Amino acid sequence: MTQLLQPLFDTFECFQELNFLQLSNERCTVKQYLKGFDESCRAIDSYLVVRSFSKSYASNQSTFKSFRTHVERLLLWALIVVRKPLLEPRRSDAERFMEFCLNPSADCVGPVIKSRFKRIGGRKRLESDEYIVNPDWRPFSSTVSKRERKLAAETMSDLSSRAYHMAQGSVAQVFAVCGSFFQHAMDEGLTEANPFRAIKQMSIYKQRNTLDVSSRSLTELQWSFVIDTAEQMADEDPAHERTLFVVATLFAMYLRLSDLIGRDNWRPTKGDLRRDTTGNWWFHVR
């Protein structure tokens, strides 16, 4: 790659402080990075659209991080790999991006790190502090368990050569986030096509070079995504207030499905939500 990879968005808290009318509050290294691309790539315009989209999901930190991960990869891929404006999509571009996500080059994969940028300054934070890119940051990260690290140390093996595998749930997230991004761009009148909607067979990507996670429970991030989606559905259509209630109730009360839909000898009703003498509400399950 002729252009080095670097993060474009910082933490959730830093994102909230950006000036969404212009580029005045972006990290200096981000602005310089975007200006370094050829004009034909329209890097700054593409970045602004991605920033606008991310702002739509910046009310929840977990959701923001998930969306930031996938849409940032998409932007970096468009600028560095295919070298074209992000909003000139074709179905073939979406397919190429999925192949990139399943088989990223070695220089795109690194260890899990906490910081995207490093602050240069004293112990006390000042507005004049300089921020530089964390050289260990990569768009993709590969988690290595303690057991794997121990075995590698005993056998003097190189873990950096281990093949990257994307979790099957992450494949679905790529489709969901990237599809939402292009729908956002269409709603804003910035493009006329959603290339990820044109890919009908998502399963062919989930079945290839992916990591099958055995756990059947949703992660905190996945729950956050589901609840945020239910809230958005309820805002758009009052009929989905029931959907939001069901999802939020399952999550907040740790219920089994049978606790909410009933059993052969019992069906829940509104009367099963009862308030005690102290004013607290309880859901009574048989």
Q: How many CA atoms lie within 13 A of 102 on its CB side?
A: 20
Note the pLDDT of residue 205: 63
On the question of pLDDT at 203 being above 80, the answer is: no
Domain boundary among 213, 239, 254: 213
Note the pLDDT of residue 20: 93
My answer on whether 190 and 226 are in the same domain is no
Task: Report the range of poorest mean pLDDT among 37-46, 144-153, 175-184, 255-264.
Answer: 144-153
Note the pLDDT of residue 251: 87
My answer on whether 207 and 253 are in the same domain is no
Note the pLDDT of residue 7: 95
Note the pLDDT of residue 123: 73
Note the pLDDT of residue 53: 96
In a domain, 115, yes or no: yes
Note the pLDDT of residue 4: 80
My answer on whether 179 and 101 are in the same domain is yes
In a domain, 24, yes or no: yes
**What's the pLDDT tens digit per position in 268-279?**
998 998 999 888
My answer on whether 100 and 227 are in the same domain is no
On the question of pLDDT at 245 being above 70, the answer is: yes
**C-alpha span between 182 and 89 (Å, rounded):** 9
Task: Supply the pTM of this predicted model.
Answer: 0.68
- Going from the C-alpha of 208 to that of each of 63, 101, 147, 279, the distances in angstroms are 26, 11, 26, 53
On the question of pLDDT at 13 being above 80, the answer is: yes
My answer on whether 48 and 114 are in the same domain is yes
Task: Match 């805002």 to its residue by tokens.
Answer: 235
Q: Which long-range contacts (CB under 8 A, 24 or more apart) does 18-27 make?
A: 18/51, 20/51, 20/52, 20/55, 23/48, 27/117, 27/131
My answer on whether 180 and 246 are in the same domain is no
Among the listed residues 241, 211, 228, the one whose alpha carbon sits nearest the alpha carbon of residue 140: 211
Mean pLDDT on 28-40: 94
**C-alpha span between 17 and 91 (Å, rounded):** 35
**What's the pLDDT tens digit per position in 76-117?**
999 999 999 999 988 899 999 999 998 898 889 888 777 899
In this prediction, residue 36 has a pLDDT band, given cuts at 50, 70 and 90, of: very high
In this prediction, residue 137 has a pLDDT band, given cuts at 50, 70 and 90, of: very high
Average pLDDT value for the chain: 85
**C-alpha span between 133 and 135 (Å, rounded):** 6
My answer on whether 121 and 234 are in the same domain is no
For residue 85, how far is the Cα from the chain centroid? 21
Mean pLDDT on 135-147: 77
Note the pLDDT of residue 161: 52
Torsion of CA 104, 110, 112, 118, to 10 degrees: -120
**C-alpha span between 161 and 147 (Å, rounded):** 17
My answer on whether 115 and 194 are in the same domain is yes
In a domain, 281, yes or no: no
In a domain, 4, yes or no: no
On the question of pLDDT at 144 being above 80, the answer is: no
Note the pLDDT of residue 202: 56
My answer on whether 80 and 177 are in the same domain is yes
My answer on whether 133 and 228 are in the same domain is no
Task: Match 């000042």 to its residue by tokens.
Answer: 126
Expressed as residue numbers, the domain containing 255 is: 221-270
Note the pLDDT of residue 209: 53
My answer on whether 26 and 68 are in the same domain is yes
**C-alpha span between 231 and 42 (Å, rounded):** 34
User: What count of residues does the chain have?
Assistant: 286
On the question of pLDDT at 252 being above 90, the answer is: no
Note the pLDDT of residue 171: 84
**What's the pLDDT tens digit per position in 155-193?**
666 555 556 778 777 888 898 899 999 999 999 999 998
My answer on whether 119 and 246 are in the same domain is no
In a domain, 129, yes or no: yes
Number of domains in the chain: 2
In this prediction, residue 259 has a pLDDT band, given cuts at 50, 70 and 90, of: confident
Task: Match 């679905």 to its residue by tokens.
Answer: 172
Q: Bridge partners of 132?
A: 118
